[in-house]
C-alpha cells in the first residue's frame, strides 16, 4: 500500500485578543490610559484565523455524515487559553472561549493558566466551549461516582478521530512541574483536595496500548503542556521517533515493535521548538525569527525525536505534513516515516501589505465581545475605600510614596497568600519585594468611595509580569546602591519601592564622574548604609546578610536588567505561578480580600451552618440513609460549599481597602 499523508495544524499558548501597542523602537505601551483600553486592534487574531481557514481549505476533502465535505486533517491546541491578558481578566476568560469557538480545534489539552480564575470558573468556561478538552493524567473523586477516580468533569481522557483514512487516538497530558507551580494549585484548597496527578509516561503508555489494541487506532498523538525537557524526556520514554531513524538503528530495533506514541505536540514554553526528528520545511512570514537554541540541544539522547511546540500568542502556527507507512509490528501497524513542518510566523504581517481584507466572521465575534462585555467590566467597581489618595507618577519615580508602598505590599501579599495555600503552611516565609517607582502610573485620585477595575489597571498598566529570583545579599546591596546613588548627569530617577525590608541611605552620596576616579587606597563611599529584613512573626528584625541568599519577588523588567538592575540579569528566574501581569496580580489580590471576607462571614454565620446541616438532614431522611452511610452526602454538600466560596464572593459586598502603608521604608539618614 502506498504511503498515506496526514495534515495537522498545531498552535499553543494564545492569550491576547488585542495586539499590544508599541513605540517605533519596540517599547511596550500601557494597556490602559485615562480613557480606557489603549488597543482595539484584532488584526493579528483575524489574520491567524484566516490562515487556518486557508490551510484547512487546501487539505483533501471527504464526505461527512451528510452531503457536505470535510477537510481531512486535524487542528490541535496545546493549552493556555483562558488567561492571562487584560481582556481575559475583564471577561474572566470568556472572550477567549468565543474566539476559540470560531477557530474550532479538534482537540485541546488544558494549560496551567486555564485555572487562573479558579476551578468553578474553569468548569463554566469548558461548558461554553464547542471544542473538546482532553486531560488524561489528572483525575478527581466525586460522590456521584462512589469516590472512584474519574476524568475531570467536562473533559475526556482521550479522543478518537478518523481523518485521511486513518484512525487517530489523542491523549492529553499536563506535567508535574507545570501543575505544581501553576495558578490552579493556588486556588481554594478544597477545590483540588480530591484530585490527583498521574505520571505522564505511565499514563501515556497505558492509554496508547488501549487505543491501539482495544480501539484499533493507527496512530496515537500526545498533546502536552509541559517544559521542553519534560516533553523530550517523555518522547524518549514513549518512542516518539520516525521509523528507520539513526536512534532506532543504533538500538538494533524496529519502531513498530516498540510501544508508545507517534508524536508529541506541546505547549507551555513560548519559544518555537522542533525536535531533531522533525523536518523544518518552509518558514512563512515577513521576517521569521531564528528558532532559539537550548543548552540541551547538543545532548545525543534527544536526537530524532518528533516533538512540535509552536510559539505563542498568535505569532506562530505549525502546518504539519505527516507521511505514514504500513508496518506489521508487535505494537504499531503504521509508523511515521517523516514529519515535516511549515512554520507560519505572524500571518498578520503578510496581510497588512494588502489594502483591503476580506470580511471575517472572527472580526465580528471579537468586536461584539470587546464593545459589550469587556468595556462594561472595565468600568465596574472592585473595591471601596474611606481614604482619599492622589497618585502622582512623578512623585513615585523620585521618592517613597504611600501608593507605591501599598502596591508593593499588595504584590507581596498576593504572592504570599498563594504560596501558603500551595504549601498548606501558614508559616511559609515571605520573600522580599522590589520594583522601581516608575512602575506605578495613572495620575489620578483614588477614593473616597468605589474604585474601578480601570483605576486599578491604570496603576500598573503594562504587561510586565512578576517573577521570583534567588538573590545573594551582596547583589541586592549592590543594586540598591546603584539606584540610590545619585548620578548628576542622568536625569532619570529610579527610586526603589520595597516590601518586606527597609533601607537606610544617604542622599548626599553622588556617583563620581569617570575623570574624577577614586582616591588611591580609599573605597568609594556607598549610599546604602543598612538593609533591615522585616520579620512577620514578631521576631526581631535582622540586618541583611551579604553572604545569604534571599527569595526576591520582582517584575520581569528589573529581572532582565532594566532600571539599572544589571546584576539581576545574571540570575535565572525560577518558573512560578506568579508569572502573571502585575495588574492581574493586583486584581487577584483584591479578589482574595473579597473571598477572605466572605469566608469569615460564612464561618461566623451560625444560620448558614445550621442551614447546611438542616439540608444534609433533610436529604438524609429523604433517601433513608443511615447515619453511618452518608459520607457521599456530606461530600456532595462540601462540593457545593466549594463552588459557593469560589463564585459567590462576586455578589458579596466590595472589599474595603485602606491606603495606610506608612512611609519610612527608604529612610534618608542625611535628613536626621
Give 541's pLDDT tier (boundaries 50, 70, 90).
Answer: confident
**pLDDT of amino acid 200:** 95
The tens digit of pLDDT for each residue in 323-364 reads: 999 998 999 999 999 999 999 999 999 888 777 677 789 999
Residue 636: pLDDT over 60: no
**Lowest-pLDDT range, 187-196, 234-243, 549-558?**
187-196
Cell of 178: 507545570
**pLDDT of amino acid 186:** 43
Q: Could you give the CA distance from residue 247 to residue 266 in angstroms, rounded to a whole number?
A: 22
The tens digit of pLDDT for each residue in 457-509 reads: 999 999 888 999 999 999 999 999 988 986 655 656 689 999 999 999 998 88
**pLDDT of amino acid 426:** 63
Percent of the chain whose pLDDT exceeds 70: 82
Q: Which residue has the higher pLDDT, 219 or 644?
A: 219
Taking each continuous run of H as one helix and of E as one strand, the counts in the chain are 19, 32
Q: What are the Cα distances from residue 198, in Å, to 80, 139, 203?
A: 20, 8, 7
Nearest Cα to 240, choosing from 220, 226, 215? 220
**pLDDT of amino acid 612:** 56
Residue 605: pLDDT over 70: no
Rounded to 5 degrees, φ, ψ at 262 are -90, -30
**pLDDT of amino acid 22:** 74
- Which H, E and C letters describe 37-60, residue by residue? ECCCCCHHHHHHHHHHHHHHHHCC
Q: Which residue has the higher pLDDT, 139 or 118?
A: 139
Residues linked to residue 560 through DSSP beta bridges, in sequence order = none
**Lowest-pLDDT range, 206-220, 350-364, 461-475, 642-656?**
642-656
**pLDDT of amino acid 34:** 82
The predicted model gives 642-646 an average pLDDT of 53
Q: Which residue has the higher pLDDT, 147 or 52?
A: 52
Q: How many C-beta atoms lie closer than 10 Å to residue 457's C-beta?
A: 28
Residue 267: pLDDT over 70: yes
Residue 647: pLDDT over 60: no
Give 515's pLDDT tier (boundaries 50, 70, 90).
Answer: very low
- Please provide the average confidence, as pLDDT, over all residues in the chain: 86
Residue 421: pLDDT over 90: no
Instruction: Provide the 8-state DSSP code for 565.
Output: -
Give 667's pLDDT tier (boundaries 50, 70, 90).
Answer: very high
Percent of the chain whose pLDDT exceeds 90: 60
CB within 8 Å of 288: residues ≥ 6 apart: 343, 345, 346
**pLDDT of amino acid 639:** 53
**pLDDT of amino acid 1:** 62
The predicted model gives 257-279 an average pLDDT of 96
**pLDDT of amino acid 176:** 77
Per DSSP, the three-state class of 470 is strand
Q: What are the Cα distances from residue 626, in Å, to 333, 561, 632, 637?
A: 54, 65, 12, 17
Residue 419: pLDDT over 60: yes
Cα dihedral 394→396→399→405 (10° resolution)? 170
Rounded to 5 degrees, φ, ψ at 561 are 95, 10
Residue 133: pLDDT over 90: yes
Rounded to 5 degrees, φ, ψ at 198 are -95, 155
**pLDDT of amino acid 232:** 97
The predicted model gives 592-613 an average pLDDT of 62
Domains and CATH numbers, the chain: 4-368 (3.60.21.10), 381-590+659-671 (3.90.780.10), 594-657 (no CATH)
Q: Could you give the CA distance from residue 483 to residue 493 in angstroms, rounded to a whole number?
A: 8
**pLDDT of amino acid 259:** 97
**pLDDT of amino acid 601:** 60
The predicted model gives 253-269 an average pLDDT of 96
Nearest Cα to 114, choosing from 99, 138, 97, 131? 97
Residue 44: pLDDT over 90: yes
The predicted model gives 248-260 an average pLDDT of 95
Residue 190: pLDDT over 50: no
Instruction: Provide the 8-state DSSP code for 156.
Output: B
CB within 8 Å of 433: residues ≥ 6 apart: 408, 411, 412, 415, 498, 499, 500, 552, 553, 554
Question: pTM for the full model?
Answer: 0.83
The predicted model gives 553-576 an average pLDDT of 87
**pLDDT of amino acid 488:** 58
Indicate the pairing of strand 432-436 with strand 549-555: parallel
Residues linked to residue 284 through DSSP beta bridges, in sequence order = 344
The predicted model gives 10-36 an average pLDDT of 84
Give 446's pLDDT tier (boundaries 50, 70, 90).
Answer: very high
Residue 63, preceding peptide bond in cis (omega within 30° of 0): no
**pLDDT of amino acid 513:** 45
**pLDDT of amino acid 283:** 94
The predicted model gives 583-611 an average pLDDT of 71
Amino acid at each position: 500500500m502506498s504511503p498515506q499523508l496526514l495534515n495537522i495544524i498545531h498552535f499553543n499558548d494564545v492569550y491576547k485578543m488585542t495586539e499590544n501597542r508599541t513605540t517605533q523602537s519596540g517599547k511596550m505601551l500601557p494597556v490602559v490610559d485615562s480613557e480606557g483600553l489603549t488597543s482595539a486592534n484584532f488584526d493579528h487574531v483575524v489574520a491567524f484565523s484566516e490562515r487556518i481557514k486557508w490551510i484547512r481549505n487546501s487539505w483533501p476533502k471527504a464526505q461527512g455524515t451528510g452531503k457536505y465535505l470535510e477537510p481531512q486533517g486535524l487542528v490541535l491546541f496545546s493549552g493556555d487559553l483562558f488567561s492571562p491578558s487584560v481582556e481575559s481578566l475583564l471577561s474572566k476568560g470568556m472572550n477567549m472561549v468565543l474566539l476559540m469557538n470560531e477557530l474550532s480545534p479538534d482537540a485541546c489539552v488544558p494549560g496551567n493558566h486555564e485555572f487562573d480564575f479558579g476551578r468553578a470558573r474553569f468548569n463554566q468556561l469548558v461548558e461554553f466551549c464547542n471544542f473538546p478538552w482532553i486531560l488524561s493524567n489528572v483525575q478527581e473523586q466525586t460522590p456521584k461516582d462512589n469516590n472512584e477516580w474519574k476524568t475531570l468533569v467536562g473533559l475526556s481522557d482521550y479522543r478518537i478521530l478518523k481523518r485521511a483514512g486513518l484512525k487517530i487516538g489523542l491523549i492529553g497530558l499536563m506535567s508535574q512541574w507545570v501543575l505544581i507551580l501553576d495558578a490552579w494549585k493556588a486556588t481554594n484548597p478544597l477545590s483540588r483536595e480530591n484530585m490527583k496527578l498521574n505520571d505522564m509516561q505511565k499514563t501515556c503508555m497505558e492509554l496508547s496500548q488501549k487505543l491501539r489494541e482495544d480501539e484499533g487506532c493507527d496512530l496515537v498523538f500526545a498533546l502536552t503542556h509541559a517544559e521542553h525537557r519534560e516533553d523530550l524526556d517523555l518522547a524518549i520514554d514513549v518512542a516518539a521517533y520516525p521509523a528507520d531513524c539513526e536512534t532506532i538503528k543504533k538500538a538494533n530495533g524496529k519502531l513498530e515493535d516498540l510501544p508508545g506514541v507517534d508524536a508529541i505536540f506541546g505547549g507551555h514554553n513560548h519559544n518555537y521548538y522542533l525536535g531533531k526528528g522533525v523536518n523544518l520545511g518552509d518558514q512563512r512570514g515577513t521576517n521569521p525569527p531564528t528558532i532559539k537554541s537550548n543548552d540541551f540541544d547538543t545532548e545525543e539522547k534527544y536526537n530524532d525525536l518528533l516533538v512540535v511546540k509552536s510559539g505563542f500568542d498568535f505569532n506562530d502556527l505549525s502546518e504539519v505534513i505527516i507521511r505514514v507507512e504500513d508496518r506489521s509490528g508487535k505494537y504499531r501497524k503504521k509508523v511515521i516515516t517523516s514529519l515535516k513542518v511549515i512554520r507560519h510566523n505572524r500571518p498578520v504581517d503578510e496581510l497588512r501589505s494588502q489594502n483591503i481584507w476580506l470580511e471575517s466572521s472572527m472580526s465580528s465575534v471579537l468586536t461584539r465581545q470587546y464593545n459589550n462585555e469587556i468595556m462594561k467590566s472595565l468600568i465596574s467597581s472592585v473595591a471601596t475605600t474611606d481614604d482619599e489618595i492622589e497618585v502622582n507618577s512623578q512623585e513615585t519615580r523620585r521618592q517613597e510614596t504611600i501608593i507605591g508602598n501599598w502596591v508593593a505590599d499588595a504584590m507581596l501579599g498576593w504572592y504570599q497568600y498563594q504560596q501558603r495555600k500551595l504549601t498548606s503552611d501558614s508559616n511559609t516565609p515571605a520573600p522580599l519585594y522590589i520594583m522601581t517607582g516608575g512602575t506605578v502610573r495613572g495620575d489620578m485620585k483614588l477614593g473616597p468611595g468605589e474604585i474601578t477595575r480601570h483605576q486599578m489597571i491604570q496603576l500598573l498598566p503594562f504587561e510586565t509580569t512578576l517573577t521570583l529570583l534567588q538573590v545573594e545579599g551582596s547583589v541586592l546591596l549592590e543594586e540598591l546602591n546603584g539606584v540610590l546613588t545619585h548620578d548628576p548627569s542622568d536625569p532619570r530617577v529610579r527610586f526603589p519601592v520595597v516590601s518586606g525590608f527597609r533601607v537606610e541611605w544617604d542622599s548626599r552620596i553622588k556617583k563620581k564622574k569617570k575623570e574624577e576616579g577614586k582616591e588611591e587606597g580609599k573605597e568609594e563611599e556607598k549610599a546604602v548604609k543598612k538593609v533591615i529584613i522585616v520579620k512577620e512573626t514578631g521576631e526581631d528584625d535582622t540586618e541583611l546578610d551579604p553572604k545569604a541568599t534571599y527569595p526576591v519577588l520582582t517584575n520581569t523588567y528589573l529581572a532582565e536588567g532594566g532600571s539599572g538592575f544589571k546584576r539581576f540579569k545574571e540570575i535565572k528566574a525560577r518558573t512560578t505561578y506568579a508569572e502573571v501581569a502585575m495588574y492581574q496580580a493586583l486584581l487577584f489580590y483584591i479578589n482574595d480580600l473579597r473571598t477572605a471576607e466572605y469566608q469569615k462571614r460564612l464561618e461566623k454565620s451560625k444560620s448558614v451552618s445550621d442551614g447546611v446541616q438542616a439540608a444534609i438532614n433533610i436529604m438524609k431522611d429523604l433517601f433513608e440513609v443511615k447515619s453511618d452511610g452518608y459520607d457521599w452526602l456530606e461530600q456532595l454538600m462540601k462540593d457545593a460549599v466549594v463552588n459557593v466560596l469560589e463564585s459567590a464572593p462576586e455578589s458579596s459586598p466590595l472589599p474595603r481597602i485602606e491606603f495606610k502603608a506608612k512611609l519610612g521604608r527608604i529612610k534618608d539618614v542625611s535628613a536626621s
